[in-house]
Amino acid sequence: MAVEGGIRCVKYLLFIFNLIFWLCGLALVVVGILVQVALHRSLSITDAAASSTPIVLIVVGVIIFFVAFFGCCGAWKENYCMVTTFAVLLFLIILVEIGAAIAGYIFKDHIKGEVQESLNQMIVKYTSNDKVKQAVDQMQTDLKCCGANSSLDWINFGVDHNTVPDSCCVNISKSCGVGALSDAAKVHQQGCNTLVEEALMKNLKWIIIAAVVIAIIQILGIVFSCLLMRGIRSGYEVM
């Protein structure tokens, strides 16, 4: 009876952990989407490698979402095949997450270079592309910055070589950037590059935290799955 009770406890623990795992999968999708939005709302990044990590997180999160549901069913029905499949899929997911973590680390410096290049390109396209103009204005307004490295990046923006977009202004109003290129009282002098990088690194920290929490839950899920598989295979009645 002690073994039977222990296996029953494992069954319910696995079911509960799968519910938590299901929620973690949903959280991983949300985090991945937020990071992806952060990359593309402010930047026109076209290099797939630079945004590969959040995309992998979203895909893995969706897979986890369905695998956890599969695991819940297997645990509740005490189906050896379903529980075994769940454990194998969980192990494969961990391998994919490790690969995503390695990719994120490898491309960390690459992303910084891509941020700089993207900002430079956006400044060049500012007057010829309405979508880029809107993105740059939004970025400069939100981050309270001007240009990629400094307000001097806009030196060729106006015919007088002394004008910046109004979104650079400390107090935004129509034509507030005219003749105020180097006026610190009217225009933000700090470039957006450093601020964007800091925002991306902050998002990366959240990814790391989410990955560690989910990895712990996944390992516990595999352990409980193996225990339940052994109990089912041994022929003990759990119900």
How confident is the prediction along the chain (239 residues), in pLDDT tens digits per residue?
334 556 677 777 777 877 777 787 787 788 777 766 665 655 554 444 445 566 767 787 788 778 887 777 777 777 778 888 888 888 887 887 777 677 767 766 666 777 788 888 888 889 888 888 988 998 899 999 999 999 999 999 988 989 999 999 999 999 999 999 989 999 999 999 888 888 777 777 777 777 777 778 778 878 878 887 887 777 544 44
What is the Cα–Cα distance from 130 to 117, expressed in whole angstroms?
A: 19
pLDDT value of residue 23: 81
For 132, the domain range is: 127-193
Please check whether residues 160 and 203 belong to one and the same domain: no
Q: Work out how many domains the chain is built from and give that number.
A: 2
User: 122 in a domain, yes or no?
Assistant: no
Please check whether residues 72 and 8 belong to one and the same domain: yes
User: 57 in a domain, yes or no?
Assistant: yes
Tell me if 174 sits within 8 A of 129, measured CB to CB.
no
Which one, of 35, 20, 64, lies nearest residue 205 by Cα? 35
Joined together, the tokens standing for residue 223 give: 């352990």
User: 118 in a domain, yes or no?
Assistant: no
User: 87 in a domain, yes or no?
Assistant: yes
Please check whether residues 94 and 57 belong to one and the same domain: yes
What is the Cα–Cα distance from 1 to 111, expressed in whole angstroms?
A: 58
Task: Supply the DSSP string of 60-115, one letter for each residue.
Answer: HHHHHHHHHHHHHHHHHHT-HHHHHHHHHHHHHHHHHHHHHHHHHHHTHHHHHHHH
Please check whether residues 102 and 184 belong to one and the same domain: no
Question: Cβ contacts of residue 175 below 8 Å, gap of 6+?
Answer: 166
pLDDT value of residue 196: 84
Please check whether residues 81 and 154 belong to one and the same domain: no
Please check whether residues 51 and 145 belong to one and the same domain: no
User: 117 in a domain, yes or no?
Assistant: no
What is the Cα–Cα distance from 153 to 121, expressed in whole angstroms?
A: 11
Please check whether residues 162 and 44 belong to one and the same domain: no
pLDDT value of residue 102: 75
Please check whether residues 153 and 97 belong to one and the same domain: no
What is the Cα–Cα distance from 74 to 11, expressed in whole angstroms?
A: 10
Angle at 174 between CA 168 and CA 177, to 5 degrees: 35
What is the Cα–Cα distance from 78 to 72, expressed in whole angstroms?
A: 10
